[in-house]
Amino acid sequence: MKNEQYKVHPGEPVGMIAAESIGEPGTQMILRIFHFAGLASTMTTTGLPRLIEILDARKEPTTPQMIIRLKESYAKSFEKALELASKITEVRLRDVAKRAVEDFQNKRVLIVLDKQALKAADMTPSQIAGLVEKKFGAKASVTKESNLILKPNVEKPSEIRNFSTRVMHSLLKGIEGAGKAIVSQDKNGEFYITSTGNNIEAIMKLESVDAQSIYTNDIFEVYRVFGVEAARNAILNELVRTLEEQGLTVDKRHLKIVADAMTAQGDVKSIGRHGIVGAKESVFSRAAFEETVKHLVNAAAFGEQDDMMDVAENILLGKLVPVGTGSVKLKVAGDAKQKKQKEKGE
C-alpha cells in the first residue's frame, strides 16, 4: 500500500493519546455554556459541560434537541413546515390554561383558559373539552366565558386535587416528549424543524418527515431505537459537533476510540467509575482511580486476583508498562542458545 509509512506503529498507546488529545484542549474551551442555535430561541448546552455530559453517558441531555428535515417535496413550503411543527409541538393543558380552580363542594374543577395561548396553539375550548372527556372520562363543558368546567367521577378532595394536576399535565396535542418545535430556514432556502425534545420513533412515522435525516443529540434515544452501533456513531457525531463548535481541532481517530470504548461492551458505558473504569478486571486499576478502599475490601472478601495485565498496577510496582515499547516481547538470542544446549543435554 502506498500510505504504509503513514500507518500507526504497533504498540502505540492510542488510548492514552486519545485521552490526552481530548483532555488537553479542555482548558481552552470557550467559557460560554449555552449557545443560541440560529435565530430561533433554541438553547443548547455546548463546550465543556456538553463534553462531560456526552462522556458521562447521561440518560438524558440537559438540552435535548432534534433536527427534523421535511421530505424534499415539502421542504420549500413554509406552510407545510409550520403545519408539521404544530403537529409536533407538545401542548399540555397547563400551557393553554391560566389556572385550575378546584371546587371541592361541587366536586368539579374550573379551568381558566389562556385565550392567547389557545390561539397560538390553534385549538378551541370545545376541542379541549372533547379530549379531556375522552382521556379521563370526566364530563367537560364550556362556559360562557369559554372556560372549562370539568366534573371528574371521583369524590374525595384529595382525588379531585390529584385529578386536576393530572389533567393540567395531560398532553392535548403534539408528540409525547417532542418538546417545542420551531421552524427555521437553511442556506438553501429549505425549511426544517428544530425541537426541544426527543421522540424519534413517533416523529419518523409522520408523513411529511424525511425519516432518514432526523438528528437527535440524545445518545440513549439513538441506542434504544437503533442499537449500539448507531449509539457509537451518535457519540462520535456529538463529540465532533461539540469540539468543532469550540473551534478546536481534534483528530477524528481520537474521538472514534472514545466512542468505541464506550460501546465496546454492547451497551453505552460512561467514562468513569460507574462505566469503563468500574468494569475493569484489574483490582489495582480500579483502586488507583477512585474508591480505593472499597475496591481493596471487596477484593479481599471475594479473594480476587490481579494478574498484573493493565498499566496501572505495573506502574505501582515499578515494572514496565504493557503498552508501547513495553508491549514488545523480544526473544533474546541468549535464550535460544540456552534452549539448544538444554535440548542437547537431554
Partner 1 sequence: MESLKPEAVKAIKFGVFSPEQIKKLSVAKITVPDTYNEDGYPIDNGLLDQRLGVIEPGLVCKTCGGRAKECPGHFGHIELVRPVIHAEFSKIIYMLLRSTCQKCHRILLNDEQIDQFKIVLQKELNKEESSEETVNLENAIKGLKNIRKCPHCGAEQEKLTFSMPTYFYLGDKKLKPDEIRDMLSKISNEDLALLGIDYSTSRPEWLILDTLLVPPVNVRPSITLETGERSEDDLTHKLVDILRINQRLEQNINAGAPQIIIDDLWELLQYHVTTYFNNETSGIPPARHRSGRALKTLAQRLKGKEGRFRYNLSGKRVNFSARTVISADGFIDVDEVGVPEIIAQNLTVPFYVTEWNIDEAKKLLESKQPPMAVNVILPDGKRKRVLDTNREELIKGLAPGQIIERQLQNGDIVLFNRQPSLHRISIMAHRVKILPGKTFRLNDCAAAPYNADYDGDEMNLHVPQSLEAQAEAKHLLEVKDQVFSPRDGRAIITGEQDAIIGLYLLTKDTTYLTREEATHLLSLAHIRDLPPEKKKGMYYGKDVFSMLLPKGLEYEEKKGDKVFKISNGVLKEGTVTKSIFGEGSNLLVAIAKQFNNDVLKDFITNAARVGYAYATMAGVTIGIKEYLLDEKAENEKREILSKMYENVKKYVKEYKEGKLEPLLGTTPRQSLEQLIMAELDIVRSKADEIVRKYVKEESNFAMALANSGARGSTLNITWISLFMGQQASISGGRIYRGYSTKRVLPVLKPKRIGPRDHGFIDGNFLEGLKPEELIMHANGARASIIYKGLLTARSGYLYRRLSNAMQDYYVQYDLSVRDPHGNLIETVYGGDGVDPTKVRFVEKR
Residues of this chain, 138-197, that bind partner 1 according to CB under 8 A? 182-185
Residue 226 binding partner 1, by CB under 8 A:
no
Question: Which residue among 98, 135, 169, 252 contacts partner 1 (CB under 8 A)?
Answer: 252
Question: Which residue among 12, 122, 186, 335 contacts partner 1 (CB under 8 A)?
Answer: 12
Q: Which is nearer to partner 1, 12 or 201 (CB)?
A: 12
Pairing of strands 171-173, 66-69: unpaired
Q: Which residues, 6 or more positions from 246, have their beta carbon under 8 angstroms from its beta carbon?
A: 25, 28, 29, 30, 46, 47
Three-state DSSP state, 139: strand
Q: Which is nearer to partner 1, 317 or 333 (CB)?
A: 317
Beta-strand runs (E) in 63-157: 66-69, 91-92, 97-103, 108-113, 139-142, 148-151
Scanning residues 122 to 141, which ones bind partner 1 (CB under 8 A)?
none
Q: Which is nearer to partner 1, 3 or 105 (CB)?
A: 3
Question: Which residue among 18, 81, 214, 222 contacts partner 1 (CB under 8 A)?
Answer: 18
Q: How far is the CB of 71 from partner 1 (least distance, A)?
A: 22
Residue 65 class from Cβ within 10 Å (0-12 exposed, 13-18 middle, 19+ buried)?
A: buried
Q: How far is the CB of 7 from partner 1 (least distance, A)?
A: 5
Does an H or E element contain 191, and which? strand 191-195
Give the CA dihedral 42, 230, 256, 33, nearest 10 degrees.
20
* Sign for the pseudo-dihedral over CA of 324, 326, 327, 328: positive
Q: How far is the CB of 266 from partner 1 (least distance, A)?
A: 7
Scanning residues 204 to 223, which ones bind partner 1 (CB under 8 A)?
none
Pattern of binders to partner 1 over 30-59, x per CB under 8 A?
-xxxxxx--xxx------x--xx--x----
Looking up cell 394536576 gives 165
Size of the site for partner 1 (CB under 8 A): 98
Scanning residues 255 to 314, which ones bind partner 1 (CB under 8 A)?
256-258, 260-261, 264-266, 271-272, 275-277, 281, 283-285, 287-289, 292-293, 296-313
